[in-house]
């Protein structure tokens, strides 16, 4: 029964009897005792970093103790005070803050519990300790007795199963000791259960192999400039256009990129990295350039959304996180614009926080949805962080907590008299609507302005019509009807075609998981290193080689005609979509407001060929290669594996069809 916990104020580490005489070749060796030394050292370092106390409890006998064999006792001479045998082994590397508690000093009695020394409890109380994390060498009953005394004095106790070794006088002593500690209410724990809550810089938000590659670049002296591009490789079925999103969080990540001492300390303890390499990470910052499609730009497969130009270590290290951010944000923005199109101007609220795949995903989804044209979010953190409009109603549990629906409504409008949206009972929305009509005049007289009612589930089409009729007949025609319950663009489109009088929709699970298209086939690919093109594999992937620019060609009214992907070193007619976003690690300009991004999405979607704005699959938008890029592709053999590459791509080539 392990539990996950994190270190907090009031925690203390207690290391029991880790002394030379209890380690091989001492007189009373605990088998495999030395194995726990690095583990304990790691625990001690963590407690020290959190500013938490560390105690080393030691056996500390007078010479010729009564328990020693020469005086008729049962123990070989051990841990005689002021001898090397009584010292902690140097490998333990106890932090300077460690408080040593000596047990057995000046007495012939056998004392084993750490609490036998009154200074121990006094120190714990003085320092406000409430939870003890106990590990070490169990030579006799020392650890068990310490746990017993700690529990009887009201301390919570965790015993560190990965930092505990038992000297068994009889087989099974170890298991019995553990069972006894559990019986006493102590909780077994390993370092894995103890989450690392040290503040993260985000630099470790990468695959460890990226850092491994950095070490290899470092060893080989590879420090030249690399150019990586992030692009989506093919349009998934069910999407006609993608909306570039996630640049702002990427730039923020790059600006803040650095390793903290704790992160470097951890890397060192993995024993995978050489000291010289780790020293090179200490001052690492992102000093490169970023060119990108502005957020909210409609885009298509093969078009780079972002280009990173930086010393290869930096450009490589950020691969994982840059991909992680751009992929998810673009995925959700591309889903959300479909919902906006389907809703035809009706209010849309993202309510996906509780079902999103993680909290960060939920917050980024709220941002992407707002950018795509959503009205508001239910997510308080996203509203606070990005200044998004927030919106919410009541839940079923609020109604159920009251004696009646009527009582719940009353309590709610009293608390929120200016914008209350009342949840109508799913099983009898008609009756609930009648209740609202009956109560509304009194509320109105009391100055209450209702925001609307919400239908959650049931057959939304017929139910919304019935509820609308009841509200209208009751003089509440200004009251709006909101609907939620497993909605997506397809359901919303169907409801609207059926004429359902719904004024706003709350979208959750299907939106923030992009349930119909849960991922995009995308990558962050090296295009150039040290001035040399990095040719992609000829077979299968169909990735267009080289450093590229995207040109968008429009008709006289601004409507999008087609895109041309060209080499970055050639110029082409049309509007160059990749624009500088960062130079030498510093942002260009002060960034765009979310409102401006939202406006871009709305404007640019209007300029898409109309077929691409619909929810159903449409003939793909034409994306061409420039003549020179086409020649590069031929030379690189990109089209050799055309079966799995271009035929699946919506991108025709200039003057020929894909795959011909």
Given the rule CB under 5 A, which residues bind Zn ion?
59
What distance in Å separates the CA atoms of residue 232 and residue 227, rounded to the nearest whole number? 17
| Region of 226 on the Ramachandran plot (φ > 0 left; ψ -120 to 50 alpha; else beta) | beta
- Minimum Å gap between C-beta 71 and Zn ion is 13
- Minimum Å gap between C-beta 162 and Zn ion is 24
| Residues 597 and 658: beta-carbon distance below 8 Å | no
111: tokens are: 């004392």
What distance in Å separates the CA atoms of residue 315 and residue 20, rounded to the nearest whole number? 48
Residue among 59 and 563 whose Cβ is closer to Zn ion? 59
What distance in Å separates the CA atoms of residue 287 and residue 315, rounded to the nearest whole number? 10
Residue among 59 and 488 whose Cβ is closer to Zn ion? 59
How far, CA to CA in Å, does 443 sit from each of 82, 140, 237, 416, 435? 83, 75, 50, 12, 12
- Minimum Å gap between C-beta 177 and Zn ion is 17
What distance in Å separates the CA atoms of residue 107 and residue 65, rounded to the nearest whole number? 8
Name which of 590, 563, 627 is nearest 251 in CA terms. Answer: 590
- Minimum Å gap between C-beta 112 and Zn ion is 8
Residue among 136 and 451 whose Cβ is closer to Zn ion? 136
Residue among 103 and 371 whose Cβ is closer to Zn ion? 103
What distance in Å separates the CA atoms of residue 263 and residue 445, rounded to the nearest whole number? 62
- Minimum Å gap between C-beta 123 and Zn ion is 22
- Minimum Å gap between C-beta 110 and Zn ion is 7
Tokens 């691969």, residue located: 319
How far, CA to CA in Å, does 577 sit from each of 329, 380, 455? 19, 34, 43
- Minimum Å gap between C-beta 58 and Zn ion is 10
Residue among 85 and 288 whose Cβ is closer to Zn ion? 85
Find the length of the chain: 660
| Region of 32 on the Ramachandran plot (φ > 0 left; ψ -120 to 50 alpha; else beta) | left
Residue among 59 and 289 whose Cβ is closer to Zn ion? 59
| Region of 498 on the Ramachandran plot (φ > 0 left; ψ -120 to 50 alpha; else beta) | alpha
- Minimum Å gap between C-beta 74 and Zn ion is 11
- Minimum Å gap between C-beta 65 and Zn ion is 7
| Residues 273 and 287: beta-carbon distance below 8 Å | no
Name which of 369, 351, 433 is nearest 597 in CA terms. Answer: 369
What distance in Å separates the CA atoms of residue 85 and residue 45, rounded to the nearest whole number? 24
- Minimum Å gap between C-beta 136 and Zn ion is 13
Residue among 61 and 525 whose Cβ is closer to Zn ion? 61
Query: Helix, strand, coil proportions of the chain in percent (round to 5)?
Result: 40, 20, 40
Residue among 86 and 433 whose Cβ is closer to Zn ion? 86
| Residues 482 and 455: beta-carbon distance below 8 Å | yes
Residue in the shown chain whose Cβ atom is closest to Zn ion:
59
Residue among 142 and 296 whose Cβ is closer to Zn ion? 142
Residue among 62 and 591 whose Cβ is closer to Zn ion? 62
CA 218 and chain centroid, separation: 29
């Amino acid at each position: 029964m392990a539990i996950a916990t994190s270190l907090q104020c009031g925690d203390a580490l207690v290391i029991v009897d880790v002394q030379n005489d209890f380690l091989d070749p001492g007189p009373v060796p605990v088998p495999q005792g030395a194995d726990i030394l690095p583990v304990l050292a790691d625990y001690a370092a963590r407690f020290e970093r959190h500013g938490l106390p560390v105690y080393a409890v030691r056996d500390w006998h007078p010479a010729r103790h009564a328990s020693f064999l020469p005086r008729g006792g049962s123990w070989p001479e051990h841990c005689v005070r002021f001898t090397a045998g009584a010292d902690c082994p140097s490998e333990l590397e106890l932090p300077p803050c460690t408080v040593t508690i000596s047990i057995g000093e000046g007495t012939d009695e056998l004392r084993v519990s750490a609490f036998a020394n009154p200074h121990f409890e006094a120190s714990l109380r003085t320092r406000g300790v409430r939870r003890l994390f106990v590990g070490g060498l169990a030579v006799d009953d020392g650890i068990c007795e310490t746990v017993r005394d700690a529990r009887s004095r009201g301390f919570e106790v965790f015993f560190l199963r990965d930092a505990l070794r038992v000297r068994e006088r009889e087989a099974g002593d170890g298991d019995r000791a553990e069972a006894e500690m559990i019986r006493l209410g102590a909780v077994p724990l390993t370092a894995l259960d103890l989450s690392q809550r040290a503040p993260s810089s985000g630099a470790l938000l990468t695959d460890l192999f990226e850092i491994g590659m950095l070490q290899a670049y470092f060893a080989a002296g590879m420090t030249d400039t690399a150019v990586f591009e992030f692009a989506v490789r093919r349009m998934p079925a069910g999407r006609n256009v993608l909306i570039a999103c996630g640049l702002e969080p990427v730039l923020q990540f790059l600006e803040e990129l650095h390793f903290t001492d704790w992160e470097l300390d951890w890397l060192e303890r993995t024993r995978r990295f050489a000291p010289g390499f780790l020293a090179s990470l200490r001052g690492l910052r992102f000093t490169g350039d970023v060119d990108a499609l502005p957020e909210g730009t409609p885009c298509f497969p093969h078009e780079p959304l972002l280009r990173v130009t930086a010393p290869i270590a930096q450009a490589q290290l950020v691969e994982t996180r840059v991909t992680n951010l751009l992929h998810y944000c673009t995925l959700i923005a591309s889903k959300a614009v479909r919902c906006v199109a389907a809703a035809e101007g009706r209010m849309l609220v993202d309510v996906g926080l509780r079902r999103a795949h993680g909290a960060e995903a939920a917050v980024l989804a709220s941002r992407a949805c707002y950018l795509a044209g959503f009205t508001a979010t239910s997510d308080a953190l996203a509203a606070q962080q990005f200044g998004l409009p927030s919106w919410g109603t009541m839940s079923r549990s609020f109604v159920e907590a009251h004696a009646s629906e009527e009582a719940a409504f009353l309590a709610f409008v009293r608390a929120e008299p200016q914008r209350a949206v009342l949840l109508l009972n799913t099983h009898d929305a008609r009756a609930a609507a009648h209740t609202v009509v009956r109560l509304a005049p009194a509320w109105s007289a009391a100055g209450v302005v209702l925001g609307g009612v919400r239908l959650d589930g049931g057959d939304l089409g017929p139910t919304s019509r019935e509820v609308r009729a009841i509200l209208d007949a009751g003089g509440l025609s200004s009251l709006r009807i909101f609907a939620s319950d497993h909605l997506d663009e397809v359901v919303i489109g169907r409801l609207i075609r059926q004429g359902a009088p719904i004024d706003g929709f709350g979208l959750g699970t299907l939106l923030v998981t992009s349930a119909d298209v849960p991922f995009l086939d995308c990558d962050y690919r090296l295009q150039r290193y040290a001035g040399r093109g990095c040719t992609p594999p000829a077979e299968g992937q169909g990735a267009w080689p080289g450093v590229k620019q995207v040109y968008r060609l429009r008709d006289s009214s601004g409507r999008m005609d087609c895109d041309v992907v060209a080499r970055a070193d050639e110029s082409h007619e049309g509007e160059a979509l990749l624009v500088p976003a960062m130079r030498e690690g510093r942002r260009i300009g002060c960034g765009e407001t979310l409102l401006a991004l939202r406006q871009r999405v709305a404007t640019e979607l209007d300029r898409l060929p109309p077929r691409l704005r619909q929810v159903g699959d449409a003939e793909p938008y034409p994306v061409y290669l420039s003549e020179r890029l086409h020649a590069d592709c031929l030379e690189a053999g990109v089209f050799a594996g055309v079966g799995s590459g271009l035929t699946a791509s919506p991108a025709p080539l200039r003057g020929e069809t894909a795959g011909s």
